[in-house]
Every structure is written in C-alpha cells, then in structure tokens.
Amino acid sequence: MDHGEWARPDPTDFDNFVPWACNQLSVESNVVVTRVAMSEYVSVVVSDRPEKSKKARKSKTPSPIGSNHSSEYAMGTSIDDNIADKPIRIHTVYDQSMHLVHIKFLKNESIPQEVIKIIALVIPMHKHLISITIDSGLRVHTIYEISKILPTSTITEMCLDFTDVPEANYHLLLNNNSLKLLSLAKCNLNDDVVQTIAEKLVLPSPAAKSLTILNLATNFITDLGAKYLAEALRSNRRLGYLNISDNLITDKGASYIFDILVEFPLTGQEYVDKKARYAVYLKEKLDLVYTTIKDIKIMEREKKVAKRRGVRSAISSTTKRKTGKDTSKADMTAKSRLNLEHAVRDKADEIVEEMVGPYRDPFDRNNTITRDGVVYCFGNNTLCYLNIAYNNLSLMSVERLRDVLVTQTLWNRSPRGLINVRIDGNYLPSWCPLLEEIDEILESQLPTVRKQSVPNKKKSARSAVSRNINSS
C-alpha cells in the first residue's frame, strides 16, 4: 500500500475528504474547508429586507471549533485573498452533536464542476445536512450538478442570494420534491426566469407539494412576473411564504396575486386537470390496494406454514384413523375462503386509506362552489406571508388588500390565509384609515395566547403591527 492510499481520509470526514479528493483529481483551484461548530443550529433565514442581511453579515465573526457561539458563521473569512490560485472557500457548519448540517460556498469567483461532483459522492453519508448556501461563483453547470444531488440527499434549504447566472437555470432545483426553501434574492431575475420557476410550482409538479418558502426579493420582476406567480398560486396549496419585495411591481401586478387569494372562476383546463388528478389518485390507490392484498396473503400463508409445523411437532405418533367423511367439508372450505378474501380486502382498504389519507385537491368539493353553471374556487388560503414592500404600489392596492383580508376573515377557513403582510416602502401615506383597518385585521389573526399575555397593552400591539405595514 502506497503512502497516498494510506493517507486517504474517510468519506464521512467531509472537511478532509473533499480537499483530498480535489487534489487527487487535479482540480484547478485549491479547496479550503473551514469547520464551524455551533451550540445550536439555526437554519437558513430569509431576510425580509435585503439591507438587513448586509449589516448582519458585517457584524458576525467566525467561531472556532468547539465554540459555544450560537450564531452562524458569517460571510467574513480570514483566508488570504492574495493567494494566486484563488482557493475555493467552503464553510461547513456543525450542530451540537457534530453532525454536518450546512455547507456554505462564500466569496468564490468560480466553483468548478468537479468540486460539486466530488461533494455529490459524500453527501448521502451526511444524513443531517439540510442547507446549502452559495453567494457567488455559480455557473449554469454547477446548478445542474446541484440539482442532481437533491434527490439523494436530505437537503431542504437552498440559499443562492447574490448569485448571477446569465442562463438563470434555477428552475432545475425544483425538478423534484426535495426543497422546502429556495432563496434567490439579488440574482438579477427577470419575468422570463420567474415564469420557469412559477411553472414548477403548478400542480401536479413535484415542487408544488414541497416548497413552502420562496424569496425573490430585489430583482427585476414586473407585473408580468407577478402574473406568473399568481397563476401558480391558483393550484398551489403548499407555498406559505412569498417575498417579492424590492421589485418593479405596480398595482396591476399586485391585483393578480390578490385576485387568487379570494374567489375566482376555474378555467376549462383547470376543470379537466382536476378530473385527471382524481383519476390518477384512484389508480394509484387501487394499485396500492392490490399490492397490499398480495403482501397480506403472503404473511397469512407464512403464518399458516409456521402453525402447521408447530402442530405436527406436537402430534403424537399414535393418531386416530378417521373412517367417515364429512360431506359438508368442501362447502365450509369454500365459504371460509370467500370470507377470507373479503376480510383481506377490507384490511387492505383500511391500511391503504391510512397511508394515503383522504383525497384532497385545491379544486375539490370542499374548496369550490358552482353558480350559474360556473365552478368557483374559494381562493388560495395557504399563503400566509406576503412581502410586497418597496415596489410601486398605491392606495389602490391597499384597498384591495383590505378587501382580501376581510373576505378571508369572514370565511374563517383553515388555514386562515394572510396573517402577515409587508407593504412598506411603497407610495403610501404614513397613516390612513385603510392602513389602520388592515392593522386591526392582522392583529386579530395573532394567536389567542399572545393576546391573553398582554391584555392591557392592546394599543402597543397595534403600533407594532402598524410599523410592519406602514413604515416607509
């Protein structure tokens, strides 16, 4: 065994294996991995206002291994920037149990495709890894390689803020149902890119059943892009957080989204798609029932074989010889088999029903009503957080928002719909009756426990909510 083979790190040792493997494959740049231990892991936080993230980034400093510091490792680094070959900087974040939970690529000019491929080999060995952050150096091929990693990993959070990929193939990350959070703030996205992302959030696409947080703040999204997102929200009942602040959206774009949060008529294609989804559900359920029946029969057969072996071993060598024949034995056997078939089918139905649950669809009977031959959907009540601050909205959007909140409150559905809205930074007055009314409605959505804890501070609570809505 040569020295190179003897010195090979274990693939479970991410910090040492990745640089070693990159060196073995002669990757263009050196790979420098910095390990950070945290007393308590904090997942990727999507900032409501991009300027806040800049301040936080400057104030944080690296934590040494074994430190009790509870905040995440910041963007700053002590690595010498004068290194000629510009090393690939990777920061690994570990939780209290020293499990790898977060990988960060920070301040890299370009991330070679080979580095992502090497990481793809070891990621399945890190079952606690849930987040990847990249702030620069991203290219079209690296996004493709990352998209291949997601189905075989436990990664659910992807933060790509500040990356600027001309091809903008970010939609590849939504080809499966892995991600729960995707942040693309300050990525120079336009309406065409938003369209490709929104299409991945329409049922029955996989990401429509998994992604709950989408951050598209500080880009170049116009009313057309808002329309694409609204079209996705017609059928999507998973996305609960949408940040489209600091874009180019006007009252028209905001109205596209507000219209989907209340009653809207189904199109002919949506009605056909609803029927198709139900047919797929029935087929998958029936196939699962047949498979379960086979499994139950195999288990019952194995039990009978085991029981017969036990009975044979217990029978005495002297047995009584039966001279007569039971004429009804055949009939009894047929009836018992028939009863057994029904019992197995009923048992399989119960198991499958518990596994798949009742059929739910955004356009099923519980969510629609028919009037004058037209089917209407009650609206999207899953989106609970909407940040549309720092756009080009006027009081027209404020009035429309008030109507949406009133309607959702009267319907009292579960979930309730919008409970947090950010519209500050638009062309709005510092105070007006509409804003006060919105303030009161949002306050009424706060948990009952919080209200009871401050019964004598209703006025101060209102002021806190008002700052979220009216500040400019």
pTM: 0.79
Q: Establish if 268 belongs to a structural domain.
A: yes
Same domain, yes or no: 369 and 234: no
Closest CA to 75 of 137, 135, 138: 135
Q: Establish if 467 belongs to a structural domain.
A: no
What's the pLDDT tens digit per position in 192-246? Answer: 999 999 999 999 999 999 999 999 999 999 999 999 999 999 999 999 999 999 9
Same domain, yes or no: 214 and 353: no
Q: Establish if 168 belongs to a structural domain.
A: yes
Same domain, yes or no: 251 and 295: no
The pLDDT, as a whole number, for residue 301 is: 77
| Residue 193, helix vs strand vs coil | helix
Q: Which residues of the chain have pLDDT under 70?
A: 1-6, 39-85, 309-340, 447-472
Same domain, yes or no: 204 and 60: yes
Determine whether 397 is exposed, middle or buried from the number of CB atoms within 10 Å of its CB (0-12, 13-18, 19+).
Answer: buried
Block residue for tokens 């009503």: 369
Name residues whose C-beta falls within 8 Å of residue 224's C-beta, 6 or more positions apart in sequence: 191, 253
Distance CA 104, CA 157 (A): 12
Domain span including residue 275: 264-307+345-378
Same domain, yes or no: 119 and 93: yes
| Residue 441, helix vs strand vs coil | helix
Q: Establish if 162 belongs to a structural domain.
A: yes
The pLDDT, as a whole number, for residue 191 is: 97
How is residue 10 annotated by DSSP? P
C-beta of residue 368 within 8 angstroms of C-beta of residue 377 = yes
Q: Establish if 239 belongs to a structural domain.
A: yes
Determine whether 109 is exposed, middle or buried from the number of CB atoms within 10 Å of its CB (0-12, 13-18, 19+).
Answer: exposed
Tokens of 348: 């399989």
Same domain, yes or no: 180 and 277: no
> Of 194, 228, 256, at which residue does a domain stop?
256
Same domain, yes or no: 101 and 155: yes
| Residue 259, helix vs strand vs coil | helix
Helical residues (DSSP H) of 357-447, grouped into ranges:
395-411, 433-444
The pLDDT, as a whole number, for residue 129 is: 94
Q: Establish if 241 belongs to a structural domain.
A: yes
Q: Establish if 108 belongs to a structural domain.
A: yes
The edge-to-edge listing of strands for the beta sheet with 241-243 is 31-37, 88-94, 100-105, 131-134, 157-159, 181-183, 213-215, 241-243, 385-387, 420-422
What's the pLDDT tens digit per position in 108-162? Answer: 999 999 999 999 999 999 999 999 999 999 999 999 999 999 998 999 999 999 9
Same domain, yes or no: 186 and 240: yes
Same domain, yes or no: 36 and 144: yes
Same domain, yes or no: 22 and 134: yes
The pLDDT, as a whole number, for residue 57 is: 36
Q: How many domains does the chain have?
A: 2
CATH number of the domain to which 121 belongs: 3.80.10.10
Closest CA to 225 of 208, 248, 241: 248
The pLDDT, as a whole number, for residue 72 is: 35
Distance CA 226, CA 247 (A): 10
Same domain, yes or no: 104 and 197: yes
> Of 360, 378, 396, at which residue does a domain stop?
378
Same domain, yes or no: 27 and 70: yes
Q: Establish if 457 belongs to a structural domain.
A: no
**Amino acid identity, position 332:** M
- Cα 136 from chain centre: 23
